[in-house]
Structure 1
Amino acid sequence: MPNDLVAALDIGGTKIAGALVDSGGRLLARTQRPTPARESAERLGAAVDGVLGELAATPHWYRVGAVGIGSAGPVDAKAGTVSPVNIPAWRDHPLVADVRERVGDLPVSLIGDGPAIAAAEHWQGAAKGRTDALCMVVSTGVGGGLVLGGSLHSGPTGNAGHIGHISVDMDGDPCPCGSRGCVETIASGTNIARRAREAGWRPGPGQDATAAGVAAAARAGDPPARAAFERAARALAAGIAATAALVELEIAVVGGGVARSGDVLFDPLRAELKRYATLPYLHGLILAPAATGADAGLIGAAAAGWQLLGLQVA
């Protein structure tokens, strides 16, 4: 049954994942490797090669009709290049051309990781059936994508909805993107942990020093840990409210590793969103956790691949 699967790649600051995905969004095979984010372009390419090689070694590879890539951004979908903020060695890197060399005649599609999670949540998750949605990933970085008028709106270069680089603090910290006070500088997992440490939080023996450890401490009532999450929630709420005011949304969906902190994030986020989303047409804005979990990036990348084959799934 050729052409009844797509190969999906999800490229982020901590992992490069791959899967074979059918037209119902089901993953038939899955693999991943750590992202050598601070190493050379050659090492990064080798990691992508390794993931594709493992997929190609499965007995299902002959059924693959297209490849969809969701990558940390910014990306340039027209040029087929990526310049992820958290992967310094890739600047205007020709990722689509690289992948095409490895997969032969298969068509290849590229979207940003934010639009990928939006595609996944609109196809299979919390935004299913919604006409206008913002879907976010809060993890090593902060990204987002938009569904407008019932369809994924990724913009001319594939970066529309990149909420992580909306500035919410005019005098805030410099961001690797070159701006200042971006949502990502406050609300990413890396910066939540940094803020908590600066305020005096320290993980106990054997405890996690990342945002997951901060979340556990916040759940136990640790003041610096709670303050770091509250500050992150404020930044996210400001970005969500600004986006909703601009394009008018039904729902904001939040996923990613930080979102898996649960009420530690969502309780202050709901409270802060009420403070920022004050216009009458924003009062009905729904806030929901993502439903596609850790596979959101792969499902969204697969959606992009399916579109190459003429199947509109998101």
Structure 2
Amino acid sequence: MSASQAFIGFAARLYSSRTVQGWRAAASKVLNPLWPQTDERTLRRQVLVDRTDAGNAQWHWRRLDGACELNGGSGELFIKGQRVRRAALPAGTDDLPNPVDLTAYMRGKVVPRGPVTVLYNGRRSDLGAFASVLLPRFFALDALGVPEDVLSMVTFNMARRPFFQDALADGVFRPRAVDLFRPMSVVRTNQVHEYSVPPLNPGLLTAAQSKLAAIYGPFANEGPPVLLAEDAHRDAPLLLKTLAERGHATQAGAFLVLDPETTNLFTLIRHLAVAPVVAGPANGVLEAIALAPRAGRVVFEIGAMNGATHTQTLARSQGERYQQLSN
């Protein structure tokens, strides 16, 4: 592990302490409605990609040149300390940006960087968001043609997770460089690349899966069924009980329980790649099936409300059989 990778882990642990988080959140909440705003007219804007594919999905990439900052909490664009006005999030967006951290402008730290882009600034930091949102967005950089010297920024709450740090150390992001947003700081730059790509895009998912298979494969032909459970010691017994009560008693006894917080990425991917059944709670973690698809396997989402979920959409797009189980 390089010195920069080690520092990312250290910084993420420091800034994620509850005491520090609570103070930042409280101060920013008070300051937020009073904070001055501006527009982006002082920046030079160049649209590099703006297209709609056959499925009516939109791809967009533009470059902004000029002195500006990215907020260390939300990744939002600021100019001379003023927040840049943006349109509201589109309807249906459920991975909201991380809250803005206005303490960055209260004797916070300025981190100078070259060209940057916001790879991930969502509130979620679970394995599912890493697999189905962050990784496809990362491989979209190649698909769009974003230069390799553009630094990809990630929120600290995602960067602190063990599976992200494993990916960093194992070379998933190479040759591109990735860094984390540091709370109580701003990233100062003269060039920002902004981009948007269709969610759960098959081509981007395949690109991510191919890179992971090259690093963590080859895989066995078949393995045990897998139960994904964050805080497995607390949640796994109830989830296994639900599986047994819904007529899957034989399988429930054979499930390999994997906790993304305590299981390294190598082990997670190698077991997911060969699992004939994957089960888990309806909290997004099951979107981790995007790491290693397996046509024909069964995906049980436990506790999901009636109606389509991202896990359901993802599973069916990968040729997997999806079932919702109430608990």
TM-score bracket, normalised by the shorter chain, equals: under 0.3
Structure with the bigger percentage of strand: 2
> Which is higher, the Rg of structure 1 or of structure 2?
2
Higher relative contact order (Cα pairs below 8 Å, separated by 6+ residues): 1
Provide TM-score, normalisation by structure 2: 0.26
